[in-house]
A = this chain, B = another copy of it.
Amino acid sequence: MVKTNPGRFFEDYSVGQVLPHAVPRTVTEGERGLYHALYPARHALYSSDEFARACGLQESPIDDLAAFHVVFGKTVPDISLNAVANLGYAEGRWLLPVYASDTLRSVSEVIGVKQNSNGKTGVVWVRTRGLNQLDEVVMEYVRWVMVRKANPDAPAPETVVPELKKVLEPSDLAIPEGLDFSNYDFGLAGEPHRWGDYEIGETIDHVDGVTVEEAEHMLATRLWQNTAKVHFDLTFRPDGRLIYGGHVISMARTLSFNGLANAQMIVGLNGGAHANPCFAGDTIKAWSEVLDKAETGVPGVGAIRLRLVATKGGEPFALKNEDGRYQPNVLLDLDYWALMPI
């Protein structure tokens, strides 16, 4: 009997299946330090316990995207080991801050399947939840992937395509208990721009760039216990190890500090596309566009909806060609909600 994990194929998924993922992970100050070594992370709420306490939290949480990566990484052996493509994200919500010493695990539920017309692949939708040691859901998101069939003759399942929100409503966003920006220190945070200073449609070039290295993206991807071999094994990908899309997300988000230093907490992920692959040697830059703004009902706290685009080369603010396809230098097009002091 083969002891290694062959991964799941399209015919192995059915709507309603619940997949509890291995391996639980206690996140510590080690992960916190590494996140700041791997990315130019400077958002004050995630850098200083004192700053976080002044905002009503118990201490500085683990970066929201680090929590996402930990939850996501666990799903790889069950969801995307035989995936052909990572097609999209929706309805991502951060429900509780994650602190050092919390232990996270992940569970996914299959919410949609649709065989492709070629009969060789299909699309699988899963809703993944990350839970802490108290079985509280700390975050959840939907993603869909294209997966190969092992047996091309396996019958097509009944098509189920879930209805997903294009954009989370402001009322869908979870504001951490106790969060309070009424004494927010803009000087310590690094920029004077408050929620009221941003206009819908405004674009921001984040200026800074980072040329990425093999060692760095592998350190990051391993830290999240993401085992997909495309990221690690040059004999499997002789043209270059593919950089984990989440590495690009974290790099772009942290680069966006320069211009969005006060977009402190990520609370919603509306959607995202990994437009083109990223390889070591690429120089990642980022720009943002303000898509929407909303009040939250919490004193001092506003929500801002941002498009975050990561690029390699090219000018900022260009996104798609006339035919609607992403330009070849665009790496990422992400749509998220963040919390800002009003």
Question: How many chain A residues touch the partner (CB < 8 A)?
Answer: 79
- Chain A window 26-37, contacts with chain B (Cβ cutoff 8 Å), 1 for yes, 0 for no: 101111111011
Quick one: copies of this chain in the complex?
3
Q: Which residues of B contact A233 (CB under 8 A)?
A: 208-211, 283
- Asked whether any CB of chain B lies closer than 8 Å to the CB of A269, the reply is no
Considering the chains assembled together, what is the distance between the CA atoms of A227 and B260 in angstroms? 15
Cβ A42 vs Cβ B258 within 8 A = no
Considering the chains assembled together, what is the distance between the CA atoms of A214 and B103 in angstroms? 32
Q: Which residues of B contact A253 (CB under 8 A)?
A: none
- Asked whether any CB of chain B lies closer than 8 Å to the CB of A47, the reply is yes
Cβ B218 vs Cβ A232 within 8 A = no
- Residues of A with Cβ closer than 8 Å to B? 1, 3-5, 20, 22-26, 28-34, 36-44, 47-51, 59-60, 77, 100-101, 103, 105, 133, 187-191, 193, 197-198, 204-211, 213-216, 218-220, 222-223, 225, 227, 229, 232-236, 241, 258-261, 283, 313
Q: A3-B193, A33-B223, A77-B190 are in contact. List 12 more A-B contacts (CB 8 A).
A: A22-B189, A22-B261, A23-B189, A26-B48, A28-B33, A34-B37, A36-B223, A37-B219, A40-B232, A48-B105, A233-B283, A235-B283
> 17 interchain pairs (CB within 8 A)?
A3-B198, A4-B204, A22-B187, A23-B47, A23-B189, A24-B188, A26-B49, A30-B32, A40-B232, A42-B225, A50-B103, A51-B103, A207-B229, A210-B233, A211-B234, A213-B214, A214-B215
